[in-house]
Amino acid sequence: MIEIINFIKKLYDTDEFIALHEPKFIGNEKKYLTECIDSTYVSSVGAFVDRFEKDFAAYVGSKYAVATVNGSSALHIALLLADVKRDDEVITQALSFVATSNAISYTGASPIFLDVDMDTLGLSPDSLKSFLSLNCEIIEQKCINKNTNNIIKACVPMHTFGHPCKIDELKEICQNWHIKLVEDAAESLGSHYQDKHTGTFGSLGVFSFNGNKIITSGGGGVIVTDNKELAKRAKHLTTTAKVPHPYEYEHDEIGYNYRMPNLNAALLCAQLEQLKIFLEDKRDLAQKYKTFFTNIDDIEFIKEPKNAQSNYWLNALIFKDKSSRDNFLKISNDNIVMSRPVWKLLSELKMFKKCQKDTLKNSKYLSERVLNIPSGVRL
């Protein structure tokens, strides 16, 4: 165990605390922030928001991007735009960060937790297919869950730690079952599946720019789509559903104050310029881990899946059992090299315990054995 910790210290060339991930501001961040402050447009309108939305859409290859205050709010709005309503149901994976299932709950719908694949850590097409064929039928172009008589409106796969899941297969299954695909790409900016950027496969995709993500705006998120109407609705709903008018307060539905402030967008424009360098550095780091762990028994380094290019946002290991994982957690953190266990399964959290789920065989296995190791860019 200690040889692993020493290796990480050597990689980062330090005896001081090594975080799991930390932001790096080495480009135009201060310049753009100063410009933004000098302009006095620090709040919800401003040139940096427009510029970011344009640059981001171009980067991921989607037609439209709408910036929001965080990834959770982006997912909330994306689900509303997928027509998810109270008493509907939404399929997602049990192995994810709580924001995924929280956003589903904000709409009044219930999550259904399905298993992940061992090779991607993302939603398993086989689990999705078998859940649907065992429990659902299509009536009038809607996917009805025969256990509850509710409609399954959407499916939210997540690209865990930046590793793309089998999104093309998931997309096909969703199409066959009249289910909208909304991608939680919060962790996978810079990750591609077969040369197409993650987050652009479904009708809507979302990203997060929280402080620990690959680029950050302090807090922030974005919705991407190729559908002009959906993009317009996303902007409308995130800006309190205000009807444009020079001075009147007219709002035509219940909207949200979810816009990204210009100040955050200024920081983010500078971060986006750095993304290419961050990605190169992360791949380089992952390659070093990969080589090192080839020679370590009973620990597997998680590599990018087939047909995919991962951003390696968070490097992860699979231990042979829970006790060796937990042992490493203690030793590394005691030695100021930060490590963290993967999330507790969403289906086991107090507020989601009663939700529908499948066997979650792989998810349970992984949640006891997976751990993240330092993954910040070194530069």
Q: Is 208 in the site for ligand PLP (CB under 6 A)?
A: yes
DSSP 319-340: ESSHHHHHHHHHHHHHTTB--E
User: Catalytic residue numbers?
Assistant: 213
CB of 147 to ligand PLP, least distance (A): 27
Residue 345 pairs in a beta bridge with none
CB of 60 to ligand PLP, least distance (A): 16
End-to-end CA, the chain = 26
Within residues 129-188, the interface with ligand PLP by CB under 6 A covers 158, 184, 186-187
Q: Is 120 in the site for ligand PLP (CB under 6 A)?
A: no
Contacts of residue 40, Cβ cutoff 8 Å, sequence gap at least 6: none
Q: Tell me the window of 8-16, 19-27, 97-105, 147-155 that interacts with ligand PLP (CB under 6 A).
A: 97-105
* Closest chain position to ligand PLP (CB): 71
The number of residues making up the chain comes to: 379
Q: Is 352 in the site for ligand PLP (CB under 6 A)?
A: no
Within residues 252-311, the interface with ligand PLP by CB under 6 A covers none
Q: Specify the DSSP element, H or E, that contains 276.
A: helix 262-294
Query: From CA 277, how far away is CA 232, in angstroms rounded?
Result: 32
Nearest residue (CB) to ligand PLP, 70 versus 225: 70
Whether the Cβ atoms of residue 274 and residue 26 lie closer than 8 Å to each other? yes
Nearest residue (CB) to ligand PLP, 95 versus 152: 95
CB of 209 to ligand PLP, least distance (A): 7
Contacts of residue 313, Cβ cutoff 8 Å, sequence gap at least 6: 21, 161, 162, 187, 188, 189, 191, 213, 214, 282, 375
Residues that contact ligand PLP, how many (by CB under 6 A):
14
Interface residues toward ligand PLP, by CB under 6 A: 70-72, 96-97, 99-100, 158, 184, 186-187, 208, 210, 221
